[in-house]
Amino acid sequence: MAQPPMSVEKMQEAVDAVAKYGSEVAAVKAIKIPRSTLRERLRAANRAGIASGIERPDSPGRLKSTITRLEAALRAKEKQSADIDIIKGVVGNIRHKVEDLDPPEFIINPRKQHGSPGVPTLFLSDLHWAEVVHPSQINGVNQYNLRIARERMQTCVDSAVHLLKILSPKMDYPGIVVPLGGDMISGNIHEELTASNEINSMPAIEDLYGVLRGVITQLANAFGSVFLPCVTGNHGRDTHKIWAKDRHHTSFDWLLYRFLAKSFEGDARIRFYIPDGPDAYYRVYGHRYLLTHGDQFRGGDSMIGALGPLTRGSHKKASRNAAIDMDFDVMICGHWHQYIHLTRLIVNGSLKGYDEYAYNYNFPFEHPQQALWITHPKYKITYRMPVYVDRQRAAPKTAWVSFAG
């Protein structure tokens, strides 16, 4: 009895499988037929003139077409701004990843309007979510818990928008940069934190995730575009000591950033930059920023405090980066819970504010605050201001214990 003719569907399946998986061996494993059957179908397809409709992703024709298209886009962008050189790194990397710096247009090319002050930056770091500060242990000058943290975060955003509206009543800003600088949760890196945190690390991440989603959405609605470069701190780690290798992948901060980036994938107004290393490099109108957490710097004394290690650390990073052609104009960091704004160095305050550790070691009192500044296309950093996040700004007066004999 003559066998029925082979169907076109089977012949098409065979040639498509070889094209997709790259070899007959891989194809038979994928579609689960004997190799002799596959070859029989391929011969029949060849006689029938059936070709694959699938082009392999790494086929020379497809790669050449992709590179040609990207090179054409690169030439067009180079006419707009010299800063677009970063696209050259994307030409050889077809697959876009959140680790790659893909800056939004508003931080590269300034608007034509003369009234715009520039691009604002609201630096969020050292939130220490879920940590508890007991006022009774620090003479009543501060208090912190989850309820207060949520209130302060909302106050921070509302105050930043209010300050920027004073500078530009029409809110003529092309977007806002919001660096996330690490120590987003309190973590369990010390026994006292494990014992005293209001909730554990993973519930803290879940709670903070919801709050930051609301914050980012509010900023996107107010400014139109939000760019978020991210680095990890030392408090969010799940290791005994900070790892030099895979630092980010052992940090709850990194996990939080990835969840947030994933949740905003469909919102073109919001773009994350989450590098694998401890530093994030980006530019605003050609002004070069290096974002790091600040835990790499050690030392300090009772006279100059954090300025010593921060100045030395900034100098070391500048020397290292000059040797690899990655110079920067300003280093921004957190970690030290002390607001400092110098020409080449910006240090953030904290949302938590003064705590038992600072009080015990006689550190100067500082209000809970976050840094806010504006980068102008011509004059670079112009307006700079702290954003106080606590409605009760003045430290309450406490009565001295007295005895009258």
CATH of the domain at 351: 3.60.21
Q: What is the mean pLDDT of residues 314-342?
A: 89
Instruction: Assess if residue 397 is contained within a domain.
Output: no
DSSP assignment string, 308-351: HHHHHHHHHHHHHHHHTT---SEEEE-SS---EE-SSEEE---S
Tell whether 324 and 250 lie within a shared domain: yes
Residue 40, pLDDT above cutoff 70: yes
Helices 146-167 and 201-223 sit at what angle, rounded to 10 degrees? Answer: 20
Q: What is the mean pLDDT of residues 184-195?
A: 92
pLDDT band at 61 (very low <50, low <70, confident <90, very high): low
Tell whether 78 and 122 lie within a shared domain: no
Tell whether 256 and 134 lie within a shared domain: yes
pLDDT (tens digit per residue) in 74-124: 766 655 544 444 433 333 333 344 456 677 887 777 766 566 899 999 999
Instruction: Assess if residue 378 is contained within a domain.
Output: yes
Residue 238, pLDDT above cutoff 70: yes
Distant-in-sequence, close-in-space partners of 242: CB < 8 Å, separation ≥ 6: 234, 295
Residue 44, pLDDT above cutoff 80: yes
The neighbouring-strand residues paired with 370 are 387
Tell whether 65 and 182 lie within a shared domain: no
Exposure of 1 by Cβ count < 10 A (0-12 exposed, 13-18 middle, 19+ buried)? exposed
| CB 24 within 8 Å of CB 35 | yes
Q: What is the mean pLDDT of residues 343-354?
A: 95
| CB 194 within 8 Å of CB 256 | no
Give the predicted TM-score (pTM) of the model. 0.72
Structural domain that includes position 83? 57-95
pLDDT (tens digit per residue) in 112-143: 656 689 999 999 999 999 999 999 999 999 99
Tell whether 83 and 12 lie within a shared domain: no
Number of separate domains in the chain: 3
- Which helix (H) or strand (E) segment holds residue 177: the answer is strand 176-177
Q: Output helix, strand, coil percentages for the chain, rounded to the nearest 5.
A: 40, 15, 45
Most distant CA pair in the chain: distance in Å? 123
SS3 state at 58: coil
Instruction: Assess if residue 398 is contained within a domain.
Output: no
Tell whether 82 and 22 lie within a shared domain: no
Tell whether 169 and 299 lie within a shared domain: yes
**Structural tokens at position 77:** 């962008």
Instruction: Assess if residue 394 is contained within a domain.
Output: no
Tell whether 172 and 89 lie within a shared domain: no
The pLDDT of residue 25 = 86
Residue 301, pLDDT above cutoff 70: no
**Which percentage of the chain shows pLDDT scores above 70?**
82
